Amino acid sequence: MKVVVLGGGPGGYVAAIRAAMLGGEVTVVEKGSMGGTCLNVGCIPTKAMLASSGVLDTALEAGKFGVTISGEIGLDFPAVMARKDKVVEQLVQGIEMLFAARGVSVLRGTGTVMPGGSISVALNDGGDETLCPDKIILATGSLPVVPAMFPYDGEKIITSDEALYLEQAPKSLIIVGGGVIGCELGQFFAKAGTAVSIVEAMPHILPSEDKDVASALARSFRKNKINVSTGQKVVRCQIVDGAVQVELENGKIMEAEKLLVCIGRKPNTAFLPLDELGIEHKNGKILVDEHMQTACPNIYAIGDIVDSAMLAHVASQEGLVAVEHMFGKDRSISYRGVPRCVYTTPEVAGVGMTEQQLQAKGIAYRAGVFHFMGLGKAKAAGKTDGFVKVLADENDVIVGGCVVGEHATELLAELTLAVELQLTAEQVGRVIHPHPTMCEALMEALHQIHGACVHAL
């Protein structure tokens, strides 16, 4: 079976490798570097940068642990960015090595599906090529959203794409959007010495997360001297005397060296002739069934271009589902347990429904909360900021939860499994958890749901 994948991001490249493993003759069409947004201008570079600021935090706190560090402590911004670039380069090369080992072919260019099912590829070197596959996977990803009111120039007014390749940290930065990207980049730049202001239109930062989670992160931001304005929209933006100036709904005027627009991303589908192909779509998102199959049986769509969470791990799972279905396996997608991760300090992670969503839907629930302050491991490691919250419905089934604190994104794995498999708080709470660990907080929170937590009053 000949399979062509348009896009080499975390959905596309995973799908391509799996298709090759199942015996497919696979070609990936990608105009840029392998790994897509996630690897090149998203997940990986931001985590590399945050790892550097995390080491800075450790160095600054060394004295609390009886460790003496002499000399000046600070971030070498160009060195941080050079390390980030090296990490990205190594991972891109890793994907290319996997392709070579599995026999996956690569065409460098932009491909579009033609009526009749062939694919026309405009090659980066100026040539063109036509492919005639049996199956097609659309994995073309997304682009940053920049409303017309922002005079985007890639210099003074930037997106995350440019922010990840700055040569120096700006003296001041306004970030429009307090979601995941805005919070992660905002905290990094604040630790790099930038005066950061975040403007979020919703009542709190991380608007899709639990209010308690947002409050915990907001407290950390205050320690980082990040100015956060919530419940406010930008009504005017202009460049005045070389600086970016914005006006908020309340009349407040803010000014900074640069402005970073982080209000979301949009599906990269405008260049695809969806209507001509008979592919159903809505608001730029391609409509698919539980197998990631479009209205055209030989065409599948995955990742940011379909109506699911714009997350790399979701795209990868969708790619696996699409490939295994096209090769005759009974595979469908489940979004019940989709983990959400924010790599700030403290880390934030969530899965399933939030407490506010349960309340809005009128669903009866019980909550169990346990703070890291009560953990021996947290005390010993000096990482007592944070908590675990678990939500169970009236049948004791775990329907959601969140973790704030050290290694929160790792600790979420057990809770994600519980939500996906619809396990009960009693079932998971009975599992013996290792001591001393941070994951004991989950066990304690599960016990708290039933009023049986021995380490909390």
Q: For position 457, what pLDDT does the model report? A: 82
pTM over 0.75: yes
At 313 the pLDDT is: 98
pLDDT tens per residue across all 457 residues of the chain = 999 999 999 999 999 999 999 999 999 999 999 999 999 999 999 999 999 999 999 999 999 999 999 999 999 999 999 999 999 999 999 999 999 999 999 999 999 999 989 999 999 999 999 999 999 999 999 999 999 999 999 999 999 999 999 999 999 999 999 999 999 999 999 999 999 999 999 999 999 999 999 999 999 999 999 999 999 999 999 999 999 999 999 999 999 999 999 999 999 999 999 999 999 999 999 999 999 999 999 999 999 999 999 999 999 999 999 999 999 999 999 999 999 999 999 999 999 999 999 999 999 999 999 999 999 999 999 999 999 999 999 999 999 999 999 999 999 999 999 999 999 999 999 999 999 999 999 999 999 999 999 998 8
How far is 377 from 161, CA to CA, in rounded Å? 38
Query: What single DSSP character describes residue 220?
Result: H
Quote the DSSP letter at residue 150. Answer: S
Which two three-digit tokens encode residue 351? 């899965």
- Is residue 435 annotated as a catalytic residue, yes or no? yes
Distance CA 278, CA 295 (A): 7
Q: What is the mean pLDDT of the chain?
A: 97
Question: What span, in angstroms and rounded, lies between the C-alpha atoms of 418 and 409?
Answer: 15
Percent of the chain with pLDDT over 70: 100
- Please answer whether residues 453 and 368 qualify as being in contact, where contact means their C-beta atoms are separated by less than 8 angstroms: yes
Question: Count of CB atoms within 10 A of residue 207's CB?
Answer: 15
Residue-level pLDDT at 37? 95
Exactly one of 281, 325, 433, 435 is catalytic; name it: 435
Gyration radius of the chain's alpha carbons: 23
Tokens matching residue 395: 């049948």
Could you give the domains of the chain? 2-144+266-326 (3.50.50.60), 157-263 (3.50.50.60), 340-449 (3.30.390.30)
